[in-house]
Structure 1
Amino acid sequence: MRAAFLALLLGGCAVTPPPVATPAAAPMVAAVAETDPVDTAADAADDPAIWRNRRNPAASLVIGTDKKAGIHVYDLSGKRLSFTPAARLNNVDLRDVGGRVIAVASDRADEAQAHVALFTLDTVARRLVPMGRFPVGAGEAYGMCLWTRKADKALFGFVVMKDGRIDQVAIDLPPGKPPVVRTVRSMKLGTQSEGCVVDDRTATLYVAEEDVGLWRFDADPAAPTTPTLITKVDGTTLVADAEGLAIALEGRRGGYLIVSSQGDNAYSLYRLPDLSYAGRFRIGGGTIDGTSDTDGIELIAGNFGPRFPHGLMVAQDGDNAPETQNFKLVSWRDVKRALRLR
């Protein structure tokens, strides 16, 4: 009798585990092209950036890092045009600065001392020309994104350290002299972070804290360093790790913030400027294999020729078996159609 009573008592105290989150539906969008695979095996390809050729959009270029070997330049068919050796480049971004295209990458060659590597993109020869590597601060450089200040066209970079610290650097490019890179402020998130992007229109920095969610900061170096949480990793609309970030600009303040939802091989969208959830999709379902375990992404809206008439998205593919990793090219028009975005 006593045993039966104890069993009944213990059964009544049992705690029901919380329900497991299920990722929200995500329609497939087929890749239009893919790049040549990188030369190194395992986890190597990492982050892309896009240069849009305004005179001939179909002749635009994609650059992509191989974090074990260097950095590649591709055309929009995915053909590798050039390769620049460099040790352990991770994330990359670029901007037009005074008639030159400047690419800046986070440099992890020294895990105790973060660096950035600067390049000029020769758009005629279609190759990257090194300008040097420059120390930033203590730590391992992970993420990298650029911001051009509207008021004076000053160039700034945000270097996201592996531990969540974010160093903002001013990048000065005096004519005929070496670049000058100096840290102007630091910010901090609590845990490992990497992906970042800046909306130049609103001077807003977005950063992905991998297991927590998406944050925003004011990009102005004189602004407070307190972040604002946009959305949490919830296992439904955003599945850890939250990785690469990109922005599709539309008009003065509109468009979409896109994030790699790495945990379920998807991409989540948030509508600008209110950052309301707008849907999610996966890359796959076509003659080109899909993506999985995506780290870096990039997206630029606008005409990129007949195959990408409304914009170009590039996503790193973490599993391109039987070949090594590469990058997939997707039409922004196809994404908007799949999600019924206006």
Structure 2
Amino acid sequence: MPTFRFAARLTAAASILSLLAACATHEVDFQGEGEGFVGQGAPVMAVLETPSVGTVGDDAADDPAVWASATPVTVMGRQTSGFVAGTDKKSGLYIYGFDGQMLQFMPQGLLNNVDVAEGLSVAGRPQLVLGASDRTPGKTGVALYLFDPAGTGDNGVRYWGSIATDVVEPYGFCFGRRGDEIHAVLVGHEGELRQFVLTADPAGAPAAREVRRAEIGSISEGCAADEGADALYVNEENVGLWRYGLDPASGAARTLVQPVAPGVLVADAEGLTTLADGQARYLIGSSQGDSTFPVWRIDGAAPEYKGRFVVVDGAVDGVTGTDGLAALGGPVGPFPEGLVVIQDDVNDVGTQNFKYVDWRAIRTALGL
């Protein structure tokens, strides 16, 4: 997207947000019925969006991940300050720039949820690792990818290998760090929880050691790690939001943070993501049943519910029926204090895609 178009969208969104500022901390009601229903929440707007995913007329776009670099990197010959990865659960993995434009597509099969982690060295070279739950028949498990931040030329995300599991239908996926270890957490459609420690062997191939298995209870998907509290959050779609320990020794022990309930978390309880904003840490969920996004502050003794937001029409169309979302605090390309990327189930033009929301808009709307 040309720079002037991106700037114009940011300006338009900021102007509309200023008109909403007076009532930003109050919830507004967008009543509707059936597909596209939007419940109560503080209104915010996306500032830009990605192109529609390539699978036309189908439920395809699912879950994103966000990564930002302190120095410019090269993706497929284009310089960028990071990227957004997004799954098309019918065909593969997209890589987008912070302008929303596609940088790369990998036709990798039935990938559902994706996440990214730093701190992995492969053959003595620092790498970014991406992991995605893979439902492709014959390869179910976790598909793994690498990106070389120091690469040049046609440097892109590349397939690395996989983690095989006994989970019949991999659904949710997230990374979490414990000290120097990268932990990979897989959530199965039927509520299976599997946790692995991911490393690279001397030959540079992926190696995974299973360190926990537990049963959540019923259909589950969204998961997110809060490394600051050594916690793991999981959404059981028709039950509610659970908090586990990220320490695999904690086993199946858990606390119900929020049951499915009208006005807070409406089934299906879907995606989860965490965001660090200075000393504060937040958990954002997707209340898919009423197209809202509940937010908890999680750096205290217990999660503290802070309210919900909705993404309404503005520079781009609003968001409904979200499957997955991802957030990153601090400088993220043109977003100086953080970015939230949200899958949109019903796009106004074309098929499903991903919307970019400036974290500052959410923080202002909820009075955080």
* TM interval, short-chain normalised: 0.7 to 0.9
Match of 1:338? 365
1:27 and 2:42 equivalent?
Answer: yes
After superposition, where does 1:151-162 map in structure 2 within 5 Å? 153-162=180-189
Larger radius of gyration: 1
Aligned to 1:71: 93
Q: Which residue of 2 aligns with 1:291?
A: 319
Calculate percent identity across the aligned residue pairs.
Answer: 40
> How far apart, in 2, do the equivalents of 1:312 and 1:52 lie?
10
Greater mean deviation of Cα atoms: 278-287 or 57-66: 57-66
2:224 aligned residue (180, 197, 208): 197
Runs ≥4 in structure 1, deviation > 6 angstroms?
A: none
Structure-2 change in CA distance of 1:284 and 1:127 (3 Å)? farther
Superposed counterparts of 1:1-342, under 5 Å: 25-41=40-56, 42-56=58-72, 59-96=81-118, 97-98=120-121, 99-110=126-137, 114-123=140-149, 124=151, 125=154, 127-150=156-179, 153-251=180-278, 254-272=280-298, 273=300, 274-306=302-334, 308-341=335-368
User: Aligned pair in 2 of structure 1 residues 126, 63: CA closer, same or farther (>3 Å)?
Assistant: farther
Moved more, 40-49 or 133-142: 133-142
Distance 2:155 2:221 in 1: 28
C-alpha contact (below 8 Å) 2:235/2:242 kept by paired residues: yes
Deviation at 1:100, TM superposition (A): 0.8
C-alpha distance 27-303 of structure 1, shift in aligned 2 (>3 A): same
1:168-220: CA deviation from partner (whole Å, max 9, x where unpaired): 11212124331112322211111100000001122110000011110011111
What is the CA RMSD across the aligned residues, in angstroms?
A: 1.9
How far does residue 94 in structure 1 lie from its aligned partner after superposition? 0.7
Distance in 1, Cα, partners of 2:127 & 2:148? 8
Choose 190-199 or 131-140, whichever is displaced more.
131-140
In the alignment, is the contact (CA less than 8 A) between 2:213 and 2:251 conserved in 1? Answer: no
Output the amino acid matched with 2:304: S
Task: Provide TM-score, normalisation by structure 1.
Answer: 0.87
- Structure 2: which 5+ runs fail to align? 1-37, 74-79
| Matched residue, 1:11 | none
Decide which moves more: 242-251 or 54-63: 54-63
**Which residue in the other structure is 1:13 paired with?**
none
**Partner SS for 2:163:** strand
* Residue 32 (structure 2) aligns with: none
> Is 318-327 or 40-49 further displaced after alignment?
318-327
8 Å CA contact 1:40–1:69 kept in 2: the answer is yes
Whether contact under 8 Å (2:42, 2:366) holds in the other structure is yes
CA distance in structure 1 between the aligned counterparts of 2:366 and 2:237, rounded to whole angstroms? 25
